[in-house]
A and B are shown apart, each in its own frame.
Chain A
Amino acid sequence: MSFSEWLDFFLPYVPGFLHASWLVLVLTVLVILVSWACGLVVALGKASQIGVIRQASVFYIWFVRGTPALIQIFIVYFGLPQLGLGLSPFVAGVLALGINSGAYVAEIIRSGLSAIPKGQVESSLALGMSRSETMRRIVLPQVVRIILPAITNEAISTLKNTSLLSTITVVELTLYAQTIIATTFRPFEFYAATAVIYLVMTTMLSQVAAMLERYNARYV
């Protein structure tokens, strides 16, 4: 194929790819938000004084990390309607992936919190700062710096995992490619193009993280 033939071949699908890629980004952002919320709650839950909360957190992490993400997606999308909770593919997908990633985020946050020396909190409390001020001003900024690399990796996993949602009819990048391939019978070209688009997005994500890390490393 010459370049112009190649261009003519792909051009009609560019808007569709752009739209599907945009959807991947939207899904990723939403899943990350859900996973951070889950992760923070569960990380604090695991350190809770209350036994039931602690056990629930341990169970959540154990279950999510010990089962395939695909099965979790199927439970939420196909299983919950049986219990009277029917969700759209989009909502079910965000929820399932968010819960999935939340377990990993919880472990990341927990390890970050445990890496802050007790003296950091003590010196703040001893000056009359409140517990919440201490958390917000002293502990969390340091935790963020520590966990940034791990959190970035988790975000990249999340982005790639959105392709699993092709199985529950969310027309993101993977499912869009499949529908084109079904009519054009050109799997190599379109799966390769899809892979390149994922690669561009994950690379952008790690670039942003590297920038943040450099900014955060200014005081080391």
Chain B
Amino acid sequence: MAAAPTPSAPTSPAPLLRIRELRKSFGAHEVLKDISLEVHAGEVVSIIGASGSGKSTFLRCINVMEMPDGGLLDFEDAHFDFAPGARGRPTPAQLRALRARIGMVFQSYNLWPHMSVLENVIEAPMRVKGVPRAEAVALAEGLLERIGLADKRGAYPSRLSGGQQQRVAIVRALAMKPRLMLFDEVTSALDPELVGEVLALMASLAKEGMTMLLVTHEIGFAREVSTRTVFFDQGRIAEDGPPREVLYRPASERLQQFLKRVLHEHVAGPTGEAP
């Protein structure tokens, strides 16, 4: 895909995304405790962890759908300081500019039901980036072609299967030509037989060099597709390393327990085999 950034070595000097000492609480509940993470262009980082460990909140802090209580975020030319009263707190305009360059895909596809597939895909490029309609349509048609749904361009989302809807949701995010994609358990709501088509699309994006952060319970997918795996435990990054290391030689007992549980739930999946 023309929009995809060229892969660059994870060792390139400046990370695409740098997060330092990020904190977030809901009331008295401290959900993210001092998270730091650097992601270089081309990296595919899978995030695993028990439910409630703060994975979704972390993704939502990256595009500031959730306002962190403290910490620093650098993404390309955006440099935010979330400390209360800090001068670096993002303005609404800066937030929109940030979100325009970071795609996000949700567990519940969240396509807009009153718009056709094509309208869903061209809406943000036209409104946010001012792309002329003809150009937006051409781009959208190319993307729909790629996922084999060109003939569904005029259909309303309710006519599509869950897997088709989720792939359109991914394409809707891609139409903004993002530099980073965030995926939050995007296959969790799907019937098992529809999971594969969505994972295949994500794998092909990863192969093209798209920088991705993905929260997933598909351990096999994480191992095959990601260049790095991060384990979240109670609001902290407990382990961080190559997927083979983290998934097959978990250092902490908590990760060992977690993996045992997840692999047990997915016995049927391609994930049960030993290293």
- B84-125, CB under 8 A of A: which get 1 and which 0? 000000001000111111111010101111111000000110
- Rounded to whole angstroms, the CA-CA distance of A129 and B93 in the bound complex is 10
- A124-154, CB under 8 A of B: which get 1 and which 0? 1111111101000110011001000000000
Say whether B96 contacts A130, CB under 8 Å. Answer: yes
A122 contacts partner chain B, Cβ-Cβ < 8 Å: yes
Nearest Cβ on chain B to A217's Cβ, whole angstroms:
11
Chain B residues near A133 (CB, 8 Å)? 127
A220 contacts partner chain B, Cβ-Cβ < 8 Å: yes
Chain A residues near B157 (CB, 8 Å)? 219
Complex: chain B residue closest to A136, CB-CB = B127
B14 contacts partner chain A, Cβ-Cβ < 8 Å: no
- Rounded to whole angstroms, the CA-CA distance of A127 and B99 in the bound complex is 6
- Rounded to whole angstroms, the CA-CA distance of A137 and B115 in the bound complex is 10
- Rounded to whole angstroms, the CA-CA distance of A124 and B115 in the bound complex is 13
The count of chain A contact residues (Cβ–Cβ below 8 Å) is 22
Say whether A123 contacts B106, CB under 8 Å. Answer: yes
- Rounded to whole angstroms, the CA-CA distance of A133 and B115 in the bound complex is 15
Determine which residue in B96, B100, B111, B172 has the highest number of CB atoms from chain A within 10 A of its CB, and name it: B96
Nearest Cβ on chain A to B184's Cβ, whole angstroms:
10
- Rounded to whole angstroms, the CA-CA distance of A123 and B108 in the bound complex is 10
Say whether A120 contacts B110, CB under 8 Å. Answer: yes
- Rounded to whole angstroms, the CA-CA distance of A141 and B115 in the bound complex is 10
- Rounded to whole angstroms, the CA-CA distance of A127 and B103 in the bound complex is 7
- Rounded to whole angstroms, the CA-CA distance of A120 and B103 in the bound complex is 15
Nearest Cβ on chain B to A139's Cβ, whole angstroms:
10
Known: A120-B112, A141-B114, A219-B113. A128 touches B106 (CB 8 A): no
Say whether B99 contacts A219, CB under 8 Å. Answer: no
B37 contacts partner chain A, Cβ-Cβ < 8 Å: no
CB < 8 Å neighbour of B156 from A119, A131, A218: A218
Say whether A125 contacts B99, CB under 8 Å. Answer: yes
Complex: chain A residue closest to B182, CB-CB = A126
- A183-220, CB under 8 A of B: which get 1 and which 0? 00000000000000000000000000000000000111
Chain A residues near B128 (CB, 8 Å)? 127-129
Chain A residues near B103 (CB, 8 Å)? 126-127
Nearest Cβ on chain A to B55's Cβ, whole angstroms:
16
- Rounded to whole angstroms, the CA-CA distance of A138 and B239 in the bound complex is 40
- Rounded to whole angstroms, the CA-CA distance of A131 and B106 in the bound complex is 19
- List chain A positions with a Cβ less than 8 A from chain B: 117, 119-120, 122-131, 133, 137-138, 141-142, 145, 218-220
Q: List 27 A-B contacts (CB under 8 A).
A: A122-B65, A122-B106, A123-B106, A123-B110, A123-B111, A123-B172, A124-B124, A125-B65, A125-B99, A127-B176, A128-B96, A128-B99, A128-B100, A128-B101, A128-B128, A128-B176, A129-B123, A129-B127, A129-B128, A137-B127, A141-B114, A142-B113, A142-B114, A145-B114, A218-B156, A219-B115, A219-B156
**Given A124-B112, A129-B124, A219-B116; 17 other pairs, CB 8 A cutoff:** A117-B108, A119-B106, A119-B108, A123-B106, A123-B169, A125-B65, A126-B103, A126-B104, A127-B99, A127-B128, A127-B172, A128-B98, A129-B128, A137-B127, A142-B113, A145-B114, A220-B156
